[in-house]
Amino acid sequence: MAQDEQLKRAEDRMKKTVETVKSNFNTVRTGRANASMLDRVVVPYYEVDTPLNQLASISIPSATTIQIDPYDKSVLGDIERSLMVIIAAASSIGCHLVTSS
């Protein structure tokens, strides 16, 4: 019985490791826009850090463009500030922020 428990625990740990690796690979730069690059972005929304993908729809209209359409337009400024912090911290990614009303 102890062997079965050990195998189950090892299997669970391996599954978690595979999921972590998949998540990390999703953030690797490929030279193309990828919506999963924004999975870890959080935005202060009503004083609560909220994942960006819960506040806006994220689409890829072209290979070099990520389009973010907030469900609530009043949060646009907070989204811009969060993205500016990330872009400033990772200026080597070669992107810039363009907004339109």
Model-level pTM greater than 0.85?
Answer: no
Give the integer Cα–Cα distance in Å for 95 and 97.
Answer: 7
Each domain of the chain, given as residue ranges in start order, spans 1-30, 32-101
pLDDT tens by residue, 20-46: 887 777 666 666 777 777 888 899 999
Looking at domain 32-101, its CATH class is: alpha beta
**What's the burial of 56, exposed, middle or buried (CB within 10 Å: 0-12/13-18/19+)?**
buried
Phi, psi of 26 (to 5 degrees): -65, -20
Give the integer Cα–Cα distance in Å for 3 and 101.
Answer: 61
